[in-house]
């Protein structure tokens, strides 16, 4: 424990970086998932095909590879564009934070697409028809009829997606974000106690995933509160 004493603040800021990535990519995941689900449920055949290709590509490729494609791919493209404007350009990249958050959100979004699609299909079509009969607009039907019912159905799987999102954030250290794995590497170089330093990282992740699990359980209870009497 003595070896750890000087590193608490580094671990704290590392954990903050992880949580920031998590927050940004969680929002993007929901956006990508909703767009994907909308495309899969739409009548347009092109939207259907594109969404299908998206889910197959991102569910079949290792997360690490997606991250590398996004980061190095964007760097090569941006450097190429930069060279057009000024020949002195050496290397331009998207910050690892944004490249990583975006890549992780694209991956988990492809899983969320299927979850959301199933959840939208689970909403009783009679309710949507009832809303139409009452003269409620499409937009209002979406927000007041479909969303409140679908999120209850989507929550159990979406909770799992949140956990994998959290665990995928560890990969961003590979493209150079200074988060907790990076701190552990630095601390190891000084203290020569790698097991302890990496175990701290594992325990930080374990506590965050525990909190997420508890929050999802509470949300599920909240979403199903009107069903308690019925069961």
> Rounded to whole angstroms, what are the CA distances from 150 to 33, 125, 146, 199?
13, 12, 6, 39
How many other C-beta atoms are found inside a 10 Å radius of the C-beta of residue 29?
Answer: 26
Q: Is 210 in the site for another protein (CB under 8 A)?
A: yes
128 binds another protein (CB under 8 A): no
| Binding-residue total with another protein (CB under 8 A) | 42
What is the separation, in whole angstroms, between the first and last Cα of the chain? 50
Question: Closest distance between another protein and the C-beta of residue 192, in Å?
Answer: 8
Q: Which stretch binds another protein (CB under 8 A): 73-81, 123-131, 151-159, 219-227?
A: 73-81
DSSP 166-209: HHHGGGGGGGT--SHHHHHHHHHHHH--HHHHHHHHHHHHHHHH
What is the nearest approach in angstroms of another protein to the Cβ of residue 149?
A: 26
174 counts as binding another protein under rule CB under 8 A: yes
Residue 136 or 163: the one with the smaller Cβ distance to another protein is 163
Among 31, 50, 76, 214, binds another protein (CB under 8 A): 76
Following DSSP, what letter does each residue of 87-102 receive, concatenated? TT-------HHHHHHH
Q: Between 58 and 131, whose beta carbon lies closer to another protein?
A: 58
Q: How far apart (Å, rounded) are the C-alpha atoms in residues 161 and 166?
A: 9
Q: Nearest distance from residue 98's CB to another protein, in Å?
A: 17
Distance CA 154, CA 17 (A): 28
CB-based contact 36:110 (threshold 8 Å) = yes
Task: CB nearer to another protein: give 1 or 133.
Answer: 1
Nearer to another protein, 63 or 142 (CB): 63
Minimum CB separation from another protein for residue 64, in Å? 5
Q: Name the H helices within 42-124.
A: 45-60, 63-85, 96-122
Judged by beta carbon, residue 111 or residue 116, the one nearer another protein is: 111
> 124 φ, ψ to 5°?
-55, 120
- Tell me: does residue 62 bind another protein (CB under 8 A): yes
Residues that bind another protein (CB under 8 A): 56-57, 59-66, 68-69, 72-73, 75-77, 163, 167-171, 173-174, 181, 184, 188, 192-199, 201-202, 205-206, 209-210
């Amino acid at each position: 424990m003595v070896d750890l004493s000087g590193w608490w603040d580094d671990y704290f800021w590392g954990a903050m970086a992880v949580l920031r990535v998590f927050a940004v990519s969680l929002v993007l995941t929901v956006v990508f998932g909703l767009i994907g689900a909308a495309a899969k449920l739409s009548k347009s055949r092109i939207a259907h095909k594109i969404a299908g290709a998206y889910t197959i590509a991102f569910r079949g490729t290792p997360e690490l590879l997606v991250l590398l494609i996004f980061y190095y791919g964007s760097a090569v493209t941006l450097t190429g564009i930069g060279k057009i404007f000024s020949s002195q350009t050496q290397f331009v990249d998207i910050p690892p934070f944004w490249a990583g958050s975006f890549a992780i959100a694209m991956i988990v979004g492809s899983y969320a697409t299927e979850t959301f699609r199933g959840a939208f299909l689970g909403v009783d079509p009679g309710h949507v028809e009832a809303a139409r009969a009452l003269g409620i607009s499409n937009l209002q039907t979406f927000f007041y009829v479909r969303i409140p019912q679908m999120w209850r159905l989507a929550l159990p799987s979406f909770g799992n997606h949140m956990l994998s999102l959290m665990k995928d954030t560890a990969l961003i250290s590979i493209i150079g974000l200074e988060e907790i794995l990076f701190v552990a590497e630095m601390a190891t170089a000084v203290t020569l106690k790698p097991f302890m330093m990496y175990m701290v990282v594992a325990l930080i992740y374990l506590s965050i995933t525990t909190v997420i699990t508890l929050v999802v359980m509470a949300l599920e209870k909240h979403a199903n509160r009107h069903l308690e009497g019925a069961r």
